[in-house]
Amino acid sequence: MKNDYKINEISKLYGIGVDSLRYYEKLGLLTPRRDSNGYRLYGLHDMYKLNIIRDLRQLDFTMQQIKSYLDHQSVENTLGLLFKEQKLIQEQIAKLEKTQQIIQGRIKVLTEATQMKTGIFSIKTYSERPCLQLKTRITRDEEMDYAIKKLHQMHKNHILDFGNQLYGALASLQDLKQGVKDVFNSVFFIFNSDEAELIDPDYVLPAGEYLSLYYRGDYRQSNERMLDIITYASEQELRILGDPFEIYEIDNRDTIVTDQFLTEIQVQVSADSGSENNA
């Protein structure tokens, strides 16, 4: 093993640019000696320091923090640095574990969604679902995308992973009955009931029973599918308690193949007979 290495050799060995090596020297972190031709020669002591610099930079230590440590190396300072490294590594592990949970959750949701049967009416029972809502009139897919992005921007501190965030769009029962097609009056993010205190919800899907229908494919069939669910409720003597809404299970966050889109329509219902409430 050689005792001295030229700057290009060190650059290749450590994967560090020549300019960065010169910068470290300018800061006083490295002190290469010069040969008779003026070329820098890096010794084993410089290589030891480069190992420290590389490891601490990977943990986001600033160059000033690294210089301070190297200028005042002692057992006490080394122990202090090791404790800092340990804490940072634990934080990174916790972050990676959280990311892994998010990915596992998305895999589970998408896998189940791809196996979901469509065109089947069912009744689902929910506890109260807190939401964050943006009221806006939407008539085109582009407007829907913009509204969702705007809502996300308004509440991005509450939504760390948009890919996993469940969201929907609210239609009007009255509009549907009057033949008004493909119009939505708001978009909203849906959260679990135990997240209510964290998000300060401005809209709530009430607890109760919801008539559900899934369909796959583009959104041009949305109006027809909503009319299907309204007709089915009438045939089953179910009283509609609110406006129907869509929930986007698989959309352009996951695929550009429109036939793979999966959308669920829900509307709150009651088995009690009587006139419908358009609230």
- pLDDT tens per residue across span 28-85: 889 899 988 889 999 888 888 998 898 888 888 889 889 988 888 889 988 888 898 8
> What angle do the packed helices 7-14 and 44-58 form, to 10 degrees?
40
User: 27: exposed, middle or buried (C-beta count within 10 Å: 0-12, 13-18, 19+)?
Assistant: middle
In 3-state terms the chain splits into helix, strand, coil percentages (rounded to 5) of 45, 25, 30
Strand partners, 247: 168, 264
Which helix (H) or strand (E) segment holds residue 50: the answer is helix 44-58
The string over 167-184, giving b where at least 16 C-beta atoms fall within 10 Å of a residue's C-beta and e elsewhere, is: bbbbbbbebbeeeeeeeb
Of the chain, the end-to-end C-alpha distance in Å amounts to: 81
Label residue 264 by pLDDT band (50, 70, 90): very high
219-242: average pLDDT:
95
pLDDT of residue 196 exceeding 80, the answer is no
Structure-token match 């559900």, residue found: 212
- Is the distance from CB of 179 to CB of 221 less than 8 angstroms? no
DSSP strands (E only) in the chain: 5-6, 33-34, 40-42, 121-126, 129-138, 167-170, 184-190, 203-205, 208-216, 239-240, 245-250, 262-270
In this prediction, residue 243 carries a pLDDT of 97
Which residue did the predictor score with more confidence, 192 or 190?
Answer: 190
- More confident position, 134 or 253: 134
Percent residues over pLDDT 70 in the chain: 96
Residue 169 has pLDDT above 80, yes or no: yes
For residue 275, the model assigns a pLDDT of 46
Is it the case that residue 273 has pLDDT exceeding 80?
Answer: no
Please tell me the distance from the alpha carbon of residue 241 to that of residue 210, in angstroms, as a whole number.
Answer: 9
Give the model's pLDDT for residue 278.
41
Q: What is the pLDDT of residue 82?
A: 85
Q: Residue range 181-188: average pLDDT?
A: 94
Task: Calculate mean pLDDT across residues 18-37.
Answer: 90
**Burial of 166 by CB count in 10 Å (0-12 exposed, 13-18 middle, 19+ buried)?**
middle
Write down the pLDDT at residue 157: 81
Backbone φ and ψ for 206, nearest 5 degrees, come out as -60, 155
pTM: 0.69
Of residues 274 and 236, the one with the higher pLDDT is: 236
pLDDT above 90 as % of the chain: 56
* Closest-CA residue to 23 (of 11, 35, 13): 11
Sign of the alpha-carbon dihedral angle for 51, 56, 62, 67: negative
DSSP state of 147: H
> Is the confidence at residue 274, as pLDDT, over 60?
no
* Residue of 224, 199, 201 whose CA lies nearest to 213: 224
Whole-angstrom Cα distance, residue 133 to residue 173? Answer: 18
Rounded-to-integer distance, Cα 187 and Cα 141, Å: 12
Q: Mean pLDDT, to the nearest integer, of 98-111?
A: 87
Looking at residue 1, its pLDDT comes to: 62
Q: What's the mean per-residue pLDDT of the chain?
A: 89
pLDDT of 98 reads: 86
Q: Which residue has the higher pLDDT, 6 or 3?
A: 6
CB 41 within 8 A of CB 5: yes
**211 has pLDDT over 50:** yes
Residue 53 backbone dihedrals phi, psi, to 5 degrees: -60, -45
Res. 161: pLDDT tops 80: no
Could you give the dihedral angle defined by the CA atoms of residues 222, 151, 250 and 200, in that order, rounded to the nearest 10 degrees?
-110
